[in-house]
Structure 1
Amino acid sequence: MKQMKWWLLTLLLVFGLAGCTSQAKPTSTKSRQSTSQKRVSAYIDSTTPTFYVHGFQGSAKSTNTLIKHAEKTAHAHKVLVATVNTSGTVTLTGKWQGHVRNPIIQVVFKNNLAQYDQQSAWLAKVITTVQQQHAFKQYNIVAHSAGCVASVNMLMTKQTADFPSINKLVTIAGPFDGVVGEDDVANQNSFLASGQPKYLHAAYELLAAKRTNFPTHVHLLNIVGTLNDGSHSDSLVTNVSARSIKYLLRGRSVDYTEKDFYGKHAQHSQLHENAHVALAVDRYLWHR
């Protein structure tokens, strides 16, 4: 009898443990499913288009790396290339159909030596042309070098009533107050106590004349490069020239952010190839 009781107790314990195990498994699976469902991308899903603009002597190559990084990291998609020929005609190539996450339009000027005001007019035409095919109320701009001046100049120029409004602007190595070797010299310029540059060059005067037309409440990321060679420049744009945009936009309620990059990869043309710069741009535009 004692032996039978021992066997019965053993069987009860075995089945009891098996029951506990079988009940625990669904709970564990359910917990994993719940965790998986809560996982959210670090980058937003926006339909606001972003226009990438190159500078003097630039081309699609100038913004290719930045765009590829955005596609890989921020789940953005290059949907169109807007090419402006020498007479100002805009041609759109690519495909933008339905909902596209974080759409990108790459802007290419065939005349990449045109003056700031001309490129500003062309950029406005690009935005209007795209808007006529794909309705949007807001847009972003990522610009490099002279493209920064052209973009800011466009934003300071009166447009039609139905022209969309700027949301975020990223300026990379913007020569807002001169270019080394042309109208500026390394370590010559400085900021006065007021924040204004001591020497005002052609680009600065162009923008200063209509600075009060710049829209209010714009989010601006200004990226500045420094070679660490004593020139306080990225080889072509001095730190003073690049940073002078802040004083230009005083009183316009601009949400201004400045990021500095140093060393050989902060050289003027290397900035748009710099993965750290690209990541800063992606996070500024699309990170939650």
Structure 2
Amino acid sequence: MNKRSYQWWLLLGLVLTVGLAGCKKATPTAKPETTNKPKSAYVTSHTPTFYVHGFQGSANSTNTLIKAATKTAHAKRVFVATVQTDGTVSLAGKWSRRTRNPIIQVVFKNNLAQYDQQTAWLAKVIKAVRARQSFDQYNIVAHSAGCVASVNLLMTPQAGNFPTLKKLVTIAGPFDGVIGEDDVANQNSFLKSGQPRYQHAAYQLLAAKKPHFPTGIRVLNIVGNLDDGTHSDGLVTNVSARSLNSLLKGRDATITTKTFHGAHAQHSQLHENPKVAQAVNRYLWHR
């Protein structure tokens, strides 16, 4: 093969190589994977929530509510705060600052103590927890007498740099008496002023301290009605539970009242009612 023929074949081979390369399908560029993880319907908050039982109550009074909060709102019980009969507070558990929606379960060994005593103990619990983990705001979920103790706490000036309440949930609060003790079903009613016609010991205690209640507090007040003609949850009349509105009138409080009906709205069944738990969780932590 002469030189000229060799050059011609070389040129032809080059053209064919380039042409075939151009015919190859381009490999698509891989797109970066994107993870569109659904956003949780519940917030991630580091504000602690204290669960407080009532007269003759125990940890069992708030266990179901806490379990529902753990499952639904991704909350976590970080401490069980036990108050001994002499007022000594012990904390069992551990609270990491990264914990989402932390819960403190409050248990009074003397579950028959008067409102003022429970109020003082609750203040000690909050201080004891704060000594372990710093926080500026807190929530309370209370049942029955725990509701009165919690409102009384907010109406009682505290020494030192006490944290500020963010949200309060009251369940079956006997703010103006208990049936069989100082109240009677279908006896009481509201006056035009919004105050109850008959004012019993709990109402009188709180009404005297009303000016000390902080302004701008958000409250969910849960009321039970058996629908049996008593207009009550069996122990607390609807008037007694709704008397909270009158006690907080003029304090710029935002009060949402939810009434539950039927057998599961009985006084002690309210803290076992899944619909009540759902209402509490949504109020505290839903976006």
Q: Please, what TM-score do these two structures have when normalized by structure 2?
A: 0.89
Per-residue CA deviations over 1:85-112 (Å, capped at 9, x if unaligned) read 0000000001112310000000000000
Q: Find the residue that maps to 2:120 and give its secondary structure.
A: helix
**How many Å apart are 1:23 and its aligned residue?**
5.8
Residue 108 of structure 1 is matched in structure 2 by 107
How do residues 1-288 of structure 1 correspond to structure 2 at under 5 angstroms? 33=34, 36-37=36-37, 39-288=38-287
Structure 1 stretches lacking a partner, 5+ long? 1-14
Opposite residue 182 of structure 1, the aligned amino acid is E
Contact 2:47 2:137 in 1 (8 A): yes
Structure 2 stretches lacking a partner, 5+ long? 1-22
Q: Find the residue that maps to 1:58 and give its secondary structure.
A: coil
Opposite residue 66 of structure 1, the aligned amino acid is L
Structure 1 Cα separation of the partners of residues 139 and 97 of structure 2: 19
* More helix per residue: 1
Structure 2 Cα separation of the partners of residues 248 and 255 of structure 1: 13
Identity %: 69
Rg: which structure is higher? 2
Opposite residue 98 of structure 2, the aligned amino acid is H
Structure 2 Cα separation of the partners of residues 155 and 253 of structure 1: 14
Q: Number of paired residues?
A: 265
RMSD, aligned CA: 1.6
Q: Please, what TM-score do these two structures have when normalized by structure 1?
A: 0.89
Structure 2 Cα separation of the partners of residues 82 and 239 of structure 1: 31
**How many Å apart are 1:141 and its aligned residue?**
0.2
Q: Find the residue that maps to 2:92 and give its secondary structure.
A: strand
Q: Find the residue that maps to 2:243 and give its secondary structure.
A: helix
Structure 1 Cα separation of the partners of residues 77 and 212 of structure 2: 30
Structure 2 Cα separation of the partners of residues 196 and 250 of structure 1: 10
Opposite residue 121 of structure 1, the aligned amino acid is A
Q: Find the residue that maps to 1:168 and give its secondary structure.
A: strand
Residue 8 of structure 1 is matched in structure 2 by none
Runs of 4 or more above 4 Å deviation: none
Opposite residue 118 of structure 1, the aligned amino acid is Q
**How many Å apart are 1:194 and its aligned residue?**
1.2
**How many Å apart are 1:193 and its aligned residue?**
1.0
Contact 2:226 2:266 in 1 (8 A): yes
Structure 1 Cα separation of the partners of residues 200 and 124 of structure 2: 27
